[in-house]
Structure 1
Amino acid sequence: MAVTIPATIVANILEGAVARGADPAAILARAGLPGIVGALEAPDFVRLVRAVTLALDDELAGLQDRAQRVGTHAIMAAHVSHADTLGAAYGRATGFMDLMDNSFRFSLRESGASLLFEMTRIPGRTVLNTTAVEMVLVLVGRMLAWMVGNRGALNGAWFEHAAPGHASAYRAMFQRAPMQFGQSSSGLAIPRALTRLPVLRNEEQATAYARRTPLDAFLPQDASAGLPLEVAVAVETCLSVEGRLPDMVHVAATLQMAPHTLRRRLKADGVDYSDIRKQVRRDMAVRLLATTGDSVEAIAAQTGFSEASAFIRAFRSWTGLTPRAYRKSEL
């Protein structure tokens, strides 16, 4: 499924560049984009963000009070990778980001069934537009979900700004979580039950992920918790061990329930079994490309494709890139 970034977010990124005195025409040329842009597909948006980042030497794209120099995100990713669990990873990320003392204070606290990751504006500091908040929450939430194998969901997300014109895009950006606007701060509510998930990525893998930012952050991602998470684990286990995608009958038997019961319960959660299979397959392919030196042909076989050409077509439909181009996609 292709991802389209709303025109407002694209304009907000360019606004940051202009605010720092950069030439927008030169940036668009560097990104290989036409002089007038609106909504962008994810790969084009990634090129734009990278062009802005490199032109400004600022991973925050000119949207906050001070520049965050290129390489800072990779240092944070390496630091976070040494946590044992998702909860500890959020703790490390929060402490690291708060040390930056830029436009926001960052904090972490428990509330009911959630662990709250919160960002509060520092009075008098520049926050250029809503994307200054959106990008931080998307990048942090996606990176930490990736740290535990792209598993997990959100209990909620809240924002200090009023609902923007592109608020409909937030459903995909924030995993279909319930949302609130016009709050005193912004943040993510992470289910406490998921905070015990183990961190699976090592420092080398985390640094490589950060260099690809924001590509991985804008791949499609569905929320996965409860029964959908159990199904995803069963699919991934079968794919890893046997190299094949199991059908619903196989997974239902693994979970000790009837296929019609599994179908009914997934439907009640608003999830389709075929979508879970596709996401597990895609996530495994992305992980193998990012963390191994296996050939495209070998990865195609490991992810259940009978031919490399079919895998390449599928991967392009997921990311807008070929597997080889994805491997090279770093700053």
Structure 2
Amino acid sequence: MTALIPAQTVANLLEGAARHGFAADDLLARAGLAVPVTDLDTADFVRLVRVVTLALDDELAGLQHRRQRIGTHAIMAAHVAMAGTLGAAWQRLAQFSDLMDNSFHFTLRDMGDETVFEMTRIPRREVLNHTAVDMVLVLVGHMMIWLGGNRRSYSAAWFDFPPPVHAPAYRRMFGRVPLQFGAPTSGLAFASSQLKLPVHRTEAEAIAYARRTPLDAFLPVDAVSGLALDTSLAVETALAAEGRLPTMAEVAATLGFAQHTLRRRLRREGVGYPDIRTQVRREMAVRLLTTTGDSVEQIAARLGFSEASAFVRAFRGWTGLTPGAYRNSEF
């Protein structure tokens, strides 16, 4: 995998641990990473965040005024998932976040065509560096995309600090939405028309997702909509029913297109069919591992792998962990 997480973000993360007496070199070694700090691929960064989170018992990695103990994100995810609509989910998210009384005040504001999820710094509360803001918005943004069935749930992001040297990397974290640095507050905006859309995940699925923070949140989330979402659902339906990945021609026929038309329209949306198939397979793997007692062999078969070893190799590539380690990695 290519390097995706800049060295500066890694250094910022380790600064929170250093404030609590943990040496950066030791934490890097625990995560199986080399010294000095370098750019990391997603799986390596996830592993380091996990090491730091467990060492500090803090899901915010020591970057804010008070610790957010392990399990807080899972409780929040469960609370949010019980909402019937995305609007109610965003409201629950803002209220829960504000109850934590840490370093930020959170609000949800109706701006007409857009609704804003905003975080404002509380005076005299410590915020160690801008990664403290990044982590909150990444976790919130990705979780809400996931709860909404992988529909893009926000349309802009802004930050209350100047552009960092690695500002181009923010496209990786926040996608193609407009970004603004140096704003008075930080936050996310989304179309108010989304407020009536349903929440697509159950409370149990949300807990399984969040209890591994930041494993799922920091994995690449190819938030899809429109035809890409329809394609994803067609792939997932076929895979669940038949235990095999459908061909592009089969999916095109299901959706009423010629294969070349589906390929062209997906390309216009910036996604390829192989990427969609991989994402569907990964999400189903995570769901089956966290919500069923099926063996690795059974899950491999349900996902269309010819043998369990091929599934193990693929899953390690997606998450940096084996299926067994992922299933046993509850906080």
Aligned residue-pair number: 331
Distance 1:211 1:63 in 2: 20
Matches within 5 A, 1:113-152: 113-152=113-152
Report if the CA contact (8 A) 1:104-1:119 is conserved. Answer: yes
- The AA in structure 1 aligned to 2:106 is F
- The AA in structure 2 aligned to 1:101 is D
Distance 1:49 1:193 in 2: 35
Report if the CA contact (8 A) 2:150-2:229 is conserved. Answer: no
Deviation at 1:170, TM superposition (A): 1.6
Matches within 5 A, 1:280-299: 280-299=280-299
Deviation at 1:296, TM superposition (A): 1.4
Structure 2 counterpart of 1:321: 321
Classify 1:158/1:99 alpha carbon distance in 2 versus 1 (closer, same or farther; 3 Å).
Answer: same
Structure 1 counterpart of 2:94: 94
Structure 2 counterpart of 1:210: 210
Distance 1:295 1:191 in 2: 41
Distance 1:52 1:183 in 2: 29
Alignment deviations for residues 11-38 of structure 1 (CA, whole Å, 9 cap, x no partner): 0011112223444344344444445332
SS across alignment from 1:157? strand
Classify 1:236/1:114 alpha carbon distance in 2 versus 1 (closer, same or farther; 3 Å).
Answer: farther
Structure 2 counterpart of 1:111: 111
Distance 1:151 1:303 in 2: 23
Deviation at 1:9, TM superposition (A): 1.2
Distance 1:2 1:84 in 2: 39
Structure 2 counterpart of 1:255: 255
Structure 1 counterpart of 2:66: 66
Matches within 5 A, 1:156-235: 156-235=156-235
Deviation at 1:139, TM superposition (A): 1.0
Classify 1:45/1:267 alpha carbon distance in 2 versus 1 (closer, same or farther; 3 Å).
Answer: closer
Deviation at 1:2, TM superposition (A): 6.4
Structure 2 counterpart of 1:27: 27
Distance 1:145 1:120 in 2: 22
Q: Percent identity?
A: 65
Q: TM-score, normalised by structure 2?
A: 0.90
Alignment deviations for residues 93-119 of structure 1 (CA, whole Å, 9 cap, x no partner): 110011122211111123354432211
Structure 2 counterpart of 1:42: 42
Unaligned runs of 5+ in 2: none
SS across alignment from 1:96? helix
Report if the CA contact (8 A) 1:152-1:229 is conserved. Answer: no
Distance 1:323 1:93 in 2: 30
Unaligned runs of 5+ in 1: none
Alignment deviations for residues 62-108 of structure 1 (CA, whole Å, 9 cap, x no partner): 21122222332222122222111222222111100111222111111
Classify 1:30/1:248 alpha carbon distance in 2 versus 1 (closer, same or farther; 3 Å).
Answer: closer
Distance 1:110 1:246 in 2: 42
**Bigger mean CA deviation after superposition, 125-134 or 306-315:** 306-315
